[in-house]
Structure 1
Amino acid sequence: MPKRGYHHGNLRQALINASLELIEVKGPQGFTLSEAAKQAGVTPAAVYRHFEGREDLIAEAARQGYDIFADLMEFAYQSGQPSDLAAFEATGRAYLAFARKYPGHYIAMFESGISVNRTPELAAVASRANGVLEKAATDLSKHIPEDKRPPASMFSAHIWAMSHGVVELFARNSPGRASPFPPEDLLETGIGIYLRGLGLIRPDE
């Protein structure tokens, strides 16, 4: 059987794609570089032409994930404008949508133990993604009296944590754990309660 042929640059992406599939099935620590090479249709030695080890491969998968994530968050933010409230709520929903659509990337980004500061490129794109949510929080927090206004970074961190919790507990099909409500409803009502507490939504809304 002839080996697969790759044009320049395709092998690197083929290895990343293979790692994403393996991460989704086995977890970030559950596969070897040899398995990634086999899945990509190349010899194990070929991996080292592009990556020094498994962590470098996972870090690049995470970087690509953050790039997709940041674009998705920005699109969500823009789709909610000119309403600051709608834009903010949309970014929270975008987090859940990303985790559902890109589980391999999500795991590489948030569950692999890879630091976002591993490379300057990874740090930059992670900061861009976080910046979109913080920008939405900054816009919305302007509607709160200054003496009662939480820092935008805290505001966005609360929503990020809530979104992450809903994903981890109820949207990832954890064995033995069933959500009592659809994850989308849990997130939306949770964000609503939080925003009511800040006075950004009236009690009857």
Structure 2
Amino acid sequence: MPKRGYHHGNLKSALVEAALQLVEEKGPTGFTLSEAAKRAGVTPAAVYRHFAGREDLIAEGARQGYAIFADLMEHAYADGQPSALAAFEATGRAYLAFARKFPGHYMAMFESGISVQRTPELAAAAGRSSAILNRAAAQLSEHIPAEKRPPPEMFSAHIWAMSHGVVELFARGSPGTRSPFPPEDLLETGIGVYLRGLGLIPPDE
């Protein structure tokens, strides 16, 4: 009987899915290419039809993750938010939701050590994610006098770092880092304090 790998309907997608499952279970460096192939139901040799190695396989999982992430962020910062604070809170909640719902993608993106410049496709997907926050920050910065205005990329990076820190410390079950407050509350209050400090929202909003 021929091996399943020779008649696989969508080998590339199956391999990425298998790799993301293994990343979630064992971490980005905790599995081999052979394990991913076995879980996908193909021979190890079949992997090389689409990927040069394990890192390229994880990079494709990261690319998919950034694409999903950007869609969520873009939707969260859609027009119609009642205030600047609400808009940034929405992007923060989207970040937390993504990390919880797509842990394999999240780990491939942020914990694998793979550069976002590894492939043009990965770089483009990652760039789209950061561009959404940069665009939001640029719109908000118009309310700050030009001589006091920080680069939009700077405070969008601050918001990203705050979101990432809350996810890493309190939203993913890290041992010994429990908080008496829900991660969503920590992030929303932190974003509020930050934006008020910049003068982007009034003190009583």
* Mapped partners of 2:180, 2:75: distance in 1: 30
Tell me if structure 2 keeps the 8 A contact 1:88–1:140: no
Q: After superposition, give the CA deviation of every residue in 1:7-30 in whole Å (9 maximum; x if it has no partner).
A: 2xx111000000101101110000
Structure 1 177/81 Cα, relative in aligned 2: closer, same or farther at 3 Å?
Answer: closer
* Mapped partners of 1:13, 1:179: distance in 2: 38
**1:55 counterpart residue number:** 55
Which stretch of the first structure deviates more once superposed, 141-150 or 187-196? 141-150
Structure 1 166/28 Cα, relative in aligned 2: closer, same or farther at 3 Å?
Answer: same
CA drift of 1:75 comes to 0.8
The sequence identity of aligned pairs, in percent, is 79
CA drift of 1:61 comes to 0.4
Tell me if structure 1 keeps the 8 A contact 2:85–2:195: no
- Structure 1, unmatched stretches of 5+, are none
Aligned residues: 203
Residue 22 (structure 2) pairs with residue 6 (structure 1): no
**1:97 counterpart residue number:** 97
**1:179 counterpart residue number:** 179
**2:160 counterpart residue number:** 160
Tell me if structure 2 keeps the 8 A contact 1:80–1:86: no
* Mapped partners of 2:41, 2:11: distance in 1: 9
Tell me if structure 2 keeps the 8 A contact 1:80–1:88: no
Residue 110 (structure 2) pairs with residue 110 (structure 1): yes
- Structure 2, unmatched stretches of 5+, are none
Tell me if structure 1 keeps the 8 A contact 2:167–2:183: yes
Which stretch of the first structure deviates more once superposed, 54-63 or 82-91? 82-91
Please provide the CA RMSD for this pair. Answer: 1.7
* Mapped partners of 1:2, 1:82: distance in 2: 60
* Mapped partners of 2:93, 2:141: distance in 1: 19
TM-score (norm 1): 0.92
